[in-house]
Amino acid sequence: MASNPEAGFPALYQAADRGAVVGQRRLLAATSLRLASLVMAAVFGSFSIDAGQVDAAALVAGAALATALVTEVYLLTARPDRQWYEARAAAESAKTLAWRYLVGGEPFGRDVGDDARVDLLLHRRFSEITGGIKGFAPIPPAEEESQVTAMMRDIRALSLEERQRHYMTGRINDQRTWYSIKARYHDRRASQWSVALAAMEACGLIAAVLNAVQLINIDLPGILGAVAAAGIAWLQTRQHQQLATSYSIAALELGDIVSRVEWPRTESEWAHFVDESEEAISREHMLWWGSRS
């Protein structure tokens, strides 16, 4: 049996995860188009190109502004950001419930003994998640009919040692590796953007001095200022530094969990251990969600 069972997770997780990916892609694509259009409008608005009776540069600048306006209307009405955030929150909530259930963590411990009651509790928790969704429709594929899949039941029926192994490899190690990789990526991108923006501002200052002494006759300070403003807006969307910090903290917390994963010896101790682990994992996501809400 595979150590990472997410392919067999509930329909809610699968649908919400896809919704989050779609929402993120739409948000980033629309935001990048809007910012690029604004920069283009600033560039072509700084000079003229005579084309008969019209100014071609002004036409390009006007078209760029129109594109930025249409994109802004799309962002305000379609709200892909809301779809991304809500769908990711729903997916992560469903994911932690699925892991709690399939390895016997609280409140779905194996020592409860009543499988029907545990399944009912899981369905109720899933219903609470779907009841809080407002920004997108979590539509699963037609073949995914059950929120409690056969894979989840199979792993839940394993011995304590086997469930610990699944949790260690499929959840703790996988999540820790993901956090570490993402923390390094976002830290690197934050540094690169900081250097690029500082260089852009320095170039704008130099251009302003050259304009002041009339060595150049083009609005380079305005163009560079628009580019820098677009870069800052993009950074606010991506939040590289904030993500690098939160992911690093989460990876460190999971490292502490790894050192204790062999400690629980009874079902009740194991259920409590899984509860603590999932709370640590969920803490990072709640910080992420709060920073965007």
Domain ranges of the chain: 6-292
The listed range with the strongest mean pLDDT (40-49, 207-216, 280-289) is: 40-49
Structure confidence at residue 71 (pLDDT) = 96
3-state class (DSSP) for residue 45 = coil
Q: Cβ atoms within 10 A of the Cβ of 292, count?
A: 14
Can you tell me the distance from the alpha carbon of 137 to that of 119, in angstroms, rounded to the nearest whole number?
24
Give the pLDDT band (50/70/90) at residue 286: low
Can you tell me the distance from the alpha carbon of 248 to that of 243, in angstroms, rounded to the nearest whole number?
8
- b (16+ CB within 10 A) / e for 124-162: ebbeebeeebebbebebeeebeebbbebbeebbebebee
Cis, bond preceding 107 (omega within 30 deg of 0): yes
Structure confidence at residue 1 (pLDDT) = 43
**In this model, does residue 252 exceed pLDDT 90?**
no
Contact 34, 72 (CB under 8 A): yes
Condensed to tens digits (0 to 9), the pLDDT of residues 38-78 reads: 999 988 988 888 877 888 989 999 999 999 999 999 999 99
Q: Cβ atoms within 10 A of the Cβ of 272, count?
A: 15
Q: Give the residue carrying structure tokens 């604004």.
A: 38
Provide the CA 205 distance to its chain's centre, in angstroms.
36
- For the chain, give the number of residues: 293
Structure confidence at residue 2 (pLDDT) = 44
Q: Cβ atoms within 10 A of the Cβ of 2, count?
A: 12
Q: What are phi and psi of 146, to 5 degrees?
A: -115, 140
The CA radius of gyration of the chain, in Å to the nearest whole number, is 25
Contact 75, 32 (CB under 8 A): no
Q: What is the mean pLDDT of the chain?
A: 85
Condensed to tens digits (0 to 9), the pLDDT of residues 126-174 reads: 989 888 887 777 766 555 556 788 888 899 999 999 999 999 888 988 8
